[in-house]
């Protein structure tokens, strides 16, 4: 494996029956990078991400995440990553600190460490007074921030974020990206899917998926030059028009 790479895939493919959701994608993500994984609805982003996280078996091809093969060593992959799914999936009937404690415990952290870190994280988020609030009573924006904080609580090497800012207001989105930058500064590689093209500008590198294939992969600046447009939105529009899948 190449030194300095957090994720490498080689012709990674997933088919469901006759439908090829992810069609032979090959790319790599550098350590410490914020990697934007873009694509229209149904382009195969979530399926690709689920394979990288060990939630879904690749039909063919190879993937290495944090140094481990995703087909054969998926449990080792899981030890080194954090994941925030598109659908909010923390326990709504547990309190904020209880969710953090549960997942930290599962990742093998000790009691004392968990207690200290919970307070530290909640303070940093400005969220300490909500420590004992049931998660179901939180507004969506806070739920997302909590999900992200829980995903990186155990200090994984890579964190996978599947549309983390879907449905939240622009101010909260802005704050959310600050959290992502903090995490990246702390050395965590961030793999993020999004629909918001302004967010794509925040990424170090961006790939755009169309119909299960990666059609473009570069820094936002060079993509804009390549497609001769001033915004990522322009790049995306040009590529998305070539899509034959609808939803």
Q: Site residues (CB under 8 A) for another protein?
A: 50, 53-57, 74-76, 78-79, 81, 83, 85, 87-94, 98, 101-108
> In this complex, which beta carbon is closest to another protein, that of residue 55 or of residue 125?
55
SS3 162: strand
Q: How far is the CB of 191 from another protein (least distance, A)?
A: 13
> In this complex, which beta carbon is closest to another protein, that of residue 52 or of residue 210?
52
Q: How far is the CB of 214 from another protein (least distance, A)?
A: 22
Q: How far is the CB of 57 from another protein (least distance, A)?
A: 6
> In this complex, which beta carbon is closest to another protein, that of residue 52 or of residue 235?
52
Q: How far is the CB of 239 from another protein (least distance, A)?
A: 28
Q: How many CB atoms lie within 10 A of CB 3?
A: 5
CB 107 within 8 A of CB 75: no
What are the DSSP calls for 203-233, one per residue? SSEEEEEETTEEEEEE-HHHHHHHTT-SSHH
Q: How far is the CB of 241 from another protein (least distance, A)?
A: 32
CB burial of 179-208 (b: ≥16 within 10 Å; e: otherwise) equals: bbeebbeeebbbbbbbebbebbebbebbbb
> In this complex, which beta carbon is closest to another protein, that of residue 7 or of residue 206?
7
CB 52 within 8 A of CB 41: no
Q: How far is the CB of 148 from another protein (least distance, A)?
A: 12
Q: How far is CA 230 from CA 39, 169, 205, 211, 235, in A?
A: 19, 25, 17, 24, 9
What are the DSSP calls for 23-44, one per residue? EEEEEEEETT-EEEEEE-TTSS
What the block records as the tokens of 220 is 């936002």
> In this complex, which beta carbon is closest to another protein, that of residue 75 or of residue 247?
75
> In this complex, which beta carbon is closest to another protein, that of residue 107 or of residue 127?
107
């Amino acid at each position: 494996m190449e030194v300095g790479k957090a994720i490498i895939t080689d012709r990674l493919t997933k088919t469901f029956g006759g439908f090829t959701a992810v069609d032979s994608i090959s790319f790599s993500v550098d350590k410490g990078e914020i990697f934007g994984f873009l694509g229209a609805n149904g382009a195969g982003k979530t399926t690709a991400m689920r394979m990288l996280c060990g939630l879904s078996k690749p039909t063919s091809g190879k993937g290495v995440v944090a140094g481990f093969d995703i087909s054969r060593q998926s449990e080792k992959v899981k030890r080194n990553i954090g994941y925030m799914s598109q659908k909010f999936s923390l326990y709504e009937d547990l309190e904020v600190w209880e969710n953090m404690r549960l997942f930290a415990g599962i990742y093998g952290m000790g009691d004392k460490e968990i207690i200290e870190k919970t307070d530290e994280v909640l303070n940093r988020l400005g969220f300490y007074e909500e420590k004992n609030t049931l998660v179901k009573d939180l507004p969506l924006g806070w739920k997302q921030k909590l999900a992200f904080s829980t995903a990186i609580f155990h200090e994984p090497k890579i964190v996978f974020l599947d549309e983390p800012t879907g449905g939240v207001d622009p101010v909260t989105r802005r704050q959310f990206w600050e959290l992502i930058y903090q995490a990246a500064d702390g050395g965590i590689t961030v793999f993020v899917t999004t629909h918001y093209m302004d967010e794509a500008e925040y990424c170090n590198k961006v790939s755009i998926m169309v119909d299960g294939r990666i059609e473009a992969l570069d820094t936002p600046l060079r993509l804009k030059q390549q497609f001769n447009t001033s915004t990522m939105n322009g790049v995306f529009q040009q590529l998305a028009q070539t899509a034959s899948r609808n939803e």
